[in-house]
Structure 1
């Protein structure tokens, strides 16, 4: 039950231990941000409601970064420590290998994917731009969320692709099983996000498969990390869509109220729409083309 035919602890138990430990570490490392919020905005928290807590964090972006960014760093730290001392592997074996041009292509592909979705929604009248292209609204959120999404991109790819898939590979699991398990865990981890939808969870699973393919095709985490960062950042902090249900603070601000929710994703954000499904599928072909030319070069 606990060990395979090679007398190794099964991959599922290692992943479960790491996931639970990582979750606890995230809560602990997020505490400084929670305490800071109590100092700067205690009166608004008197109701104790989850919505008011989220609104309070939203009003104080640096405190939000301290909490969410701290939790993310805690998760990264636990992933690295358990990978090194429990799995007895190196950071290179976790996926930090290969050329940094993979990171650059990932950043470009993620940004381009969101830009294409924005253009399609704009020209079809499914969104309304609330400020003009010539008047971008830069704010403190532009900086704090850039830092946060960089941390999130590194952390989620380190765990869901690097740790989960590499642990399964080291225990002899098939490639298709690695795809399925990493994608399902990735989707379920977003299941408690605000305004979550069935299509949103399906798309998150699909993009999880895409990230897994990027990882395997390049034998490196750099490409999925880059795509993950700009997919989130351009979605929420450039074009002003919700990111997996979280409130946006874009340089540009859009309204999706008059659009088709099947295309815009509604309150959950672009990840809850069919255009995201399309671009995720196209991302597979873009990755395949890049990986083939990368090997040839």
Structure 2
């Protein structure tokens, strides 16, 4: 029942907020900004509340202390990674800018990407990763959630099997590793948002085959799908896979140094250890 309650709460917020943000983006960018930010702001306390009620513990993975700094760090990392990919595409002549695009479109995408980053991280890292890790091992949880994350992107309008595989490796692995290294959701949320918003809101490329609206720049990608990502966008590019894997390795190295890669003990065993500690 704990799993069911958490899943229902997270999926409900994701579905309602996600659909509302999508509908708003098609109508008015300022409405999309408001709806997206509201969804992101509401989703976190809902997740924290249901975790506290069902697991009878503080929801430390979304604790307020240090949240701002962690969110900024993740956002900067995501934006820098995106800029590195775009710079390589531009160097090869596969990304060109013709001028200013749509600043209001960037505003709407900010809200849309904020809602997507928060709700997806709460679902995949906050819920699925933790539940799987509790019952198996960290590596299994990282692999399974990465695969599920990639498969979910097959539902997008311009999705492709290659794009889904790339997402599973580069994003599923990197975001999961970011959570393992920090044991909070703020860095993965920031990383997710920074990447998505920079890709669509600033550089105006396709994001995960979603048919993304134009952002700040009037730009276009071209060239072989293996390099540019084709209709799926730069997330299907070999460059993104390489940068994503390298970042994943860095996060896993940090996780190893911090002792976060050790197998998770079953809940019953952890509960006994906690009881024994309190008894002493």
TM-score of Structure 1 vs Structure 2, range by shorter chain: 0.7 to 0.9
Instruction: Name the residue aligned to 2:150.
Output: 187
Q: TM-score, normalised by structure 2?
A: 0.76
The structural deviation recorded for 1:172 is 4.0
The structure carrying a bigger helix percent of its residues is 2
Alignment partner of 1:176 out of 136, 139, 151: 139
Q: Distance in 2 between matches of 1:271 and 1:33?
A: 22
Cross-structure match for 1:268:
232
Q: Counterpart in 1 of 2:271?
A: none
CA RMSD of aligned residues (A): 3.3
Distance, in Å, in 2 between the alignment partners of 1:95 and 1:166 is: 16
1:182 Cα offset (Å)? 1.8
Give the one of 3, 6, 11 matched to 1:23.
11
> What per-residue deviation string (whole Å, max 9, x for no partner) do you get for residues 190-245 of structure 1?
22111001121112212112111111112222221221111001100111111112
TM-fit CA distance, 1:104: 3.1
Q: How many aligned residue pairs are there?
A: 257
- Unpaired runs of 5+ residues, structure 1, are 1-8, 38-56
How far 1:115 moved relative to its partner?
0.8
Q: Distance in 1 between matches of 2:238 and 2:172?
A: 16
Partner of 1:53: none
Q: Distance in 2 between matches of 1:74 and 1:102?
A: 19
State the distance in 2 between where 1:103 and 1:67 align: 20
| Contact persistence 2:154–2:161 (CA under 8 A) | no
For residues 12-34 of structure 1, the C-alpha deviation after alignment (integer angstroms, 9 at most, x for no partner) is x81x6644554344444567679
User: After the TM superposition, which residues 4-15 of structure 1 pair with which residues of structure 2 at under 5 Å, given as runs?
Assistant: 14=3
Query: Is the partner of 2:70 in helix, strand or coil?
Result: helix
TM-score by length of 1: 0.72
Farther off after superposition, 72-81 or 271-280: 72-81
Partner of 1:191: helix, strand, or coil? Answer: helix
